[in-house]
Chain A
Amino acid sequence: MSFFWRELFDPREAESYGSRIQTLLFELIVVARAHYELWTWSKIIPLQPGIPKPAGIGRLIDVSFMIDSVAVNANAALTGTFMLLGLTQRLRWGYFLGFCGFHLQYVARFGLGKVQHSTNMLGFALLALAAAHLAYRDPVLRRKAAIGYTVLLFSLAYSLAAIAKLRARGFGWADGHHLWLWINEKRVDVISASGRPQMNMLQRAVLKSLPLATLMLFGGLAAEMCSALMWWRRVRRWTMLALAAMHLGIAYVMKIHFVPSVLILLSLGLPIAELIDFIRRKRATKIEDAAVNTNA
């Protein structure tokens, strides 16, 4: 297997207890967040005036039947159940069916002309889990493959985002004036949504300083341009944490929240496995020392 593929998936490498827990945490976060989105959308969808501009599967089939509280709640319940069956390894097709149900709920929610991208990474994680469960029966291989496919899809997504920006404006995209324009746009959105103007300290600082605004944009673009590096295990953590930091910056300055993306990136990027393995080693060493002292 070539180097690049082995960086994504190495079945020969033994899985530590910490890695197993970290992957389980990743799955729990994906399933929990998916449930949250499903039930949040199920409250909004029945209030919408139809699906005038269908997205996704809505372009191929009529999904207007979903603008109904019974249909949307039933879909949420069924989709959530399939995901739980996948999480507990009781149904091999669980994640795949959950992914399909989630897509249907998304299409029903975002059929008014504006698509939302904050759940795309969540969708990729679900798809990765679905592919891993369908490709393998062994739980260890499933966990490794799920992480590998998640990294594959994430790296492509963020690279495409960087390419889109560079195609549109080249490196001139990172001009701080552009961030000023966006902050004013988001300010209007905040007042429209909440009725009150709200600007935080960082937004005020950015609006006063063109170099700071430029630096923030440059940092975000650099993080996206380097996202393909997450294929390489040695720098995967840092790439993911840089992308998580980018999203946190966007949330604080632009008031645009990519919560699922941040949660998934942190669950995979933070040294959770290493910490768990370190604690277990320490405890094992203490027990051994205590046993030696007792015998002595």
Chain B
Amino acid sequence: MPTHGASGGDRADLPSVERRFKIVGCVLLAINLCAISIGDGEFWPFSKFPMFSRAGRPWKRAFVREVSAEELRQPLVEVAERELPGKPVALHHFHINQDDISAVVRTLKQPVSEEQAALLAQYFDRLRHDRTMVLYEAYGRFRSTDRSVRVRFLPRLIIGPDGVHDVVVIDPASVGAPTRIQADGGPHDAAATLPVDAGVQ
């Protein structure tokens, strides 16, 4: 049920109206292509939209566990999900965004840089004064045998009232394995790694 088209004045100048649409459309396309050509292809809202394009590549995400002093006396080693110590910390409840923390974890240096330690201390400031947490790097990849998924949790940092500290992960196969730094600052001897788990699949 058509009611009306363009107003009387514009109707007489339809070619100009159409030309204007094309020009503005071309300008929008040009801006779009220029914006994604510079830098890393991201200039909101313009983007190359590379999400999910890196299919099959291993991933790394952040994972935080609250641990007790007793649990911290045990070796902190790479484990499967069911062997994680402590209890989960629901980041959403504390308005901490999982994507933001994971972006930091992906770029963590060994040992952690002062800037990253300060950033994380500030990010977890509301939580760390009355609890001690271990920040894990959760990573997932395919097994070479059957392409099932293997997910492991690697402890990276201890975050607590006294700040952010590195965790040195123990490799018992290496000679002169480094000592592990505990949250209390004291060194402890290396301990055997827990048995490798078959993953979540």
A joins B in a complex: yes
Interface residues of A (CB under 8 A from B): 1, 5-6, 8-9, 11-18, 20, 43-44, 47-50, 52, 55-56, 59, 103, 106-107, 110, 112-117, 119-124, 127-128, 131, 134-136, 138, 140-141, 145, 148-149, 152-153, 156-158, 160-161, 164-165, 167-169, 173, 175, 177-178, 180-182, 184-185, 187-189, 191-196, 207, 277, 280-281
Give the number of chain B interface residues (Cβ < 8 Å): 72
A115 touches B98 (CB 8 A): no
Q: Do A149 and B4 touch across chains, with their CB atoms under 8 A apart?
A: no
16 pairs of residues in contact across A and B, judged by CB atoms under 8 Å: A13-B5, A55-B44, A56-B44, A112-B103, A113-B100, A117-B47, A121-B45, A127-B45, A160-B36, A178-B56, A180-B201, A184-B140, A184-B200, A184-B201, A192-B88, A196-B90
- B138 contacts the other chain (Cβ, under 8 Å)? yes
B28:A168 contact, CB within 8 angstroms:
no
A192→B62 contact, CB < 8 A: yes
CB < 8 Å: which of A103, A131, A177 contacts B28? A131
CB closest chain-A residue, reference B42: A115
The answer to whether B18 and A9 touch across the interface, beta carbons within 8 angstroms, is yes
Contact A49 B6 (CB under 8 A): no
How many A-B contacts if CB must be within 8 Å?
A: 217
From A120, which residue of chain B is reached at the shortest CB distance? B45
Are B91 and A193 in contact, with the CB atoms below 8 A? yes
B55–A185 touching, CB < 8 Å:
no
Residue in B49, B53, B89, B93 whose CB lies within 8 Å of A157: B49
Partner of A169, one of B29, B55, B99: B55
Main secondary structure on A side of the interface with B: helix
Query: Interface on B for A, CB 8 Å cutoff?
Result: 1-7, 10, 14, 17-18, 20-22, 24-25, 28-29, 32, 36, 39, 42-56, 59, 61-64, 87-93, 95, 97-100, 102-104, 106-107, 115, 119, 122-123, 138, 140-142, 147-149, 151, 200-201
B104 surroundings in chain A (CB, below 8 A): 112-113
Nearest B-chain residue to A197, judged by Cβ = B81
- Min CB–CB distance A221 → chain B (angstroms): 10
Q: What CA separation (Å) do A262 and B174 show in the bound complex?
A: 53
User: Cβ of B45 and Cβ of A124 under 8 Å apart?
Assistant: yes
- Residues A1 and B18 in contact, CB atoms below 8 Å apart: yes
Report the Cα distance A9→B29, complex, angstroms. Answer: 16
Instruction: Give complex CA distance A17, B3 in Å.
Output: 6
Chain A contacts for B200, CB-based, 8 A: 184, 187
- B44 and A123 contact, CB distance less than 8 A: yes
Residue pair B18, A11 in contact (C-beta under 8 Å): yes
**Which residue of A20, A113, A161, A195 is within 8 Å of B49 (Cβ)?**
A161
With A11-B17, A55-B42 known to touch, is A193 a contact of B10 (CB < 8 Å)? no
Top 10 A-B residue pairs of the complex, sorted by shortest distance between their CB atoms: A123-B45, A14-B2, A195-B90, A113-B103, A161-B49, A114-B103, A178-B55, A49-B122, A195-B88, A164-B53
